[in-house]
């Protein structure tokens, strides 16, 4: 268990390091007004904190920097009480200068705002369109073989894909199919359409459609979804201005990581509501080992549907950033729910 003094010194040190990005020595700490101990005393405490794994040295005679464990402890126990954050709320309303009409624009702007304000990189993971409910679908022939299938969701989102029409299918049959789907499956989540058909509609199909056999293959083609979350970026190059990445060989993997869709999706996805902080290797990817990722979820009708995230160096301004992310995600939630009333 840490003593009060150790807690205090640890916090002061991390605060200082976050601010100045340079190893902090006993002298620097002792210079603070609210410190009454001598450098020598502090040195002893620092040595202890290092033994406990909260601090590290860059070389034998350097000052200390926080270890990953140190940051974790800082975030969990030392963050100046978050009540301050209330003072920041309300700002974010002002931030949306342009009126945003559609969800996509909201996500895009949120990412930009967040990265501008923090100078880190931000990412908004859009809602998975496949979780939205079917409002209406339609198949529009382009040529004799090719058609476009269109699915409109209750949120006004449009999914579309090109499909190949089997020769065997007759236009009137196709029309019947579409009618049945619209009548029976409105309100069902896109992703569930196929299973719902399997379970509930085979009888209906048999009754109304001639060539039920071939139809099965066609339906699979029609309703085979691939992931459809969208990513919105802000400040992709902000990493370059972080002192710890002022080295090409260090940023390169990072920037490459940012460009890799599936890695980013994984990084930024979170099933939990609220705020998650992952520090350094907690991100479980080499390229992110010197970064922290903060995910905040936004909701619709109380349900988690996506996240807004911030990616920065492990030495992040956690305090500022957490409150910002918190209020911004709430603001997003509000606006999002305003759309659909």
Partner DNA sequence: GTTAGCACTCTTAAACAGCGAGTGCTAAAT
Partner DNA sequence: ATTTAGCACTCGCTGTTTAAGAGTGCTAAC
- Residue ranges binding its own copies (CB under 8 A): 101-102, 135-136, 138, 140, 142-143, 146, 148, 150, 152, 154-156, 158, 160-162, 236-237, 240-241, 246-248, 251-252, 255-256, 259, 340
- Neighbouring residues of 159: CB distance < 8 A, sequence distance ≥ 6: 129, 130, 150, 151, 153, 190, 228
Residues 189-218 that bind DNA (CB under 7 A): none
Of the pair 39, 253, the CB lying nearest its own copies is at 253
Q: What is the 3-state secondary structure (H, E, C) of 89-132?
A: CCHHHHHCCCCCCCHHHHHHHHHHHHHHHHCCEEEEECCCHHHC
Burial grade of 265 (CB within 10 A; 0-12, 13-18, 19 or more): middle
- Determine the distance from the C-alpha atom of residue 73 to the mean position of all C-alpha atoms in its chain, rounded to a whole number: 23
Of the pair 13, 267, the CB lying nearest DNA is at 13
CB of 63 to DNA, least distance (A): 4
Of the pair 44, 340, the CB lying nearest DNA is at 44
CB atoms within 10 A of CB 97: 8
Any contact of residue 63 with DNA (CB under 7 A)?
Answer: yes
For DNA, the binding residue among 7, 11, 50, 161 (CB under 7 A) is 50
Of the pair 211, 286, the CB lying nearest its own copies is at 286
Dihedral angle, C-alpha 248, 250, 253, 259, nearest 10 °: -70
61 binds, among its own copies, DNA, none (CB under 5 to 8 A by kind): DNA
94 binds, among DNA, its own copies, none (CB under 5 to 8 A by kind): none
CB atoms within 10 A of CB 207: 9
CB of 18 to DNA, least distance (A): 15
CB of 146 to its own copies, least distance (A): 6
CB of 49 to DNA, least distance (A): 10
60 binds, among DNA, its own copies, none (CB under 5 to 8 A by kind): DNA
Q: Which residues of 307-332 are buried (b: 16+ CB within 10 A; e: fewer)?
A: bbbbbbbbbbbbbebbbbbbbbbebb
Of the pair 198, 340, the CB lying nearest its own copies is at 340
Q: Which of 96, 91, 120, 90 is nearest to 108 (CA)?
A: 96
CA 274 to CA 80: how far, in whole Å? Answer: 19
Any contact of residue 62 with DNA (CB under 7 A)?
Answer: yes
CB of 282 to its own copies, least distance (A): 25
Window of 53-61, 75-83, 105-113, 248-256 that interacts with DNA by CB under 7 A: 53-61
334 binds, among DNA, its own copies, none (CB under 5 to 8 A by kind): none
Q: What is the CA radius of gyration of the chain?
A: 27
Q: Using the 8-state DSSP alphabet, how is residue 211 labeled?
A: -
CA 313 to CA 301: how far, in whole Å? Answer: 34
Q: Say how many residues touch DNA, by CB under 7 A.
A: 25
Of the pair 60, 144, the CB lying nearest DNA is at 60
Could you tell me if 231 and 237 are in contact, meaning their C-beta atoms sit under 8 angstroms apart? no
Of the pair 20, 227, the CB lying nearest DNA is at 20
CB of 114 to DNA, least distance (A): 32
For DNA, the binding residue among 47, 164, 217, 224 (CB under 7 A) is 47
Q: Which residue has the tokens 């911030």?
A: 310
Residues 17-36 that bind DNA (CB under 7 A): 23-28, 36
CA 95 to CA 92: how far, in whole Å? Answer: 5
Positions touching DNA (CB under 7 A) are: 23-28, 36-41, 43-44, 46-47, 50, 57-64
């Amino acid at each position: 268990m840490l003593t009060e003094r150790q807690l205090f010194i640890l916090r002061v040190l991390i605060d200082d390091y976050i601010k100045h990005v340079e190893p902090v020595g006993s002298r620097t700490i002792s210079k603070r007004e609210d410190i009454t101990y001598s450098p020598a005393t502090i040195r002893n405490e620092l040595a202890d904190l290092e033994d406990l794994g909260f601090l590290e040295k860059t070389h034998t005679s350097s000052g200390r920097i926080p270890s990953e464990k140190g940051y974790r402890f800082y975030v969990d126990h030392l963050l100046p009480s978050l009540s301050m954050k209330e003072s920041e709320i309300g700002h974010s309303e002002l931030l949306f200068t342009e009126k945003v009409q559609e969800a996509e624009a909201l996500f895009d702007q949120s990412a930009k705002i967040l990265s501008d304000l923090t100078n880190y990189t931000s990412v908004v993971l859009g809602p998975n369109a496949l979780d939205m409910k079917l409002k209406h679908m339609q198949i529009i022939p382009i040529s004799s073989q090719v058609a476009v299938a269109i699915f409109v969701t209750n949120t006004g989102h449009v999914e579309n894909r090109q499909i190949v029409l089997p020769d065997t299918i007759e236009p009137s049959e196709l029309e019947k199919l579409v009618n049945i789907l619209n009548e029976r499956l409105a309100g069902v989540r896109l992703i569930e359409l196929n299973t719902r058909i399997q379970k509930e509609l085979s009888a209906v199909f048999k009754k109304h459609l001639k060539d039920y056999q071939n139809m099965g293959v066609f339906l699979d083609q029609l309703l085979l979804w691939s992931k459809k979350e969208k990513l919105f970026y802000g400040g992709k190059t902000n990493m370059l201005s972080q002192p710890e990445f002022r080295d090409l060989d260090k940023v390169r993997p990072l920037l490459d990581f940012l460009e890799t869709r599936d890695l980013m999706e994984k990084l930024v996805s979170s099933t939990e509501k609220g705020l998650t902080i992952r520090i350094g290797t907690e991100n479980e990817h080499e390229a992110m080992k010197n970064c922290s990722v903060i995910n905040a979820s936004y909701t619709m009708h109380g349900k988690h549907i996506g996240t807004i995230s911030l990616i920065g160096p492990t030495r992040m301004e956690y305090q500022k950033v957490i409150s910002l992310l918190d209020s911004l995600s709430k603001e997003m939630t509000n606006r999002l729910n305003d759309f659909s009333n």
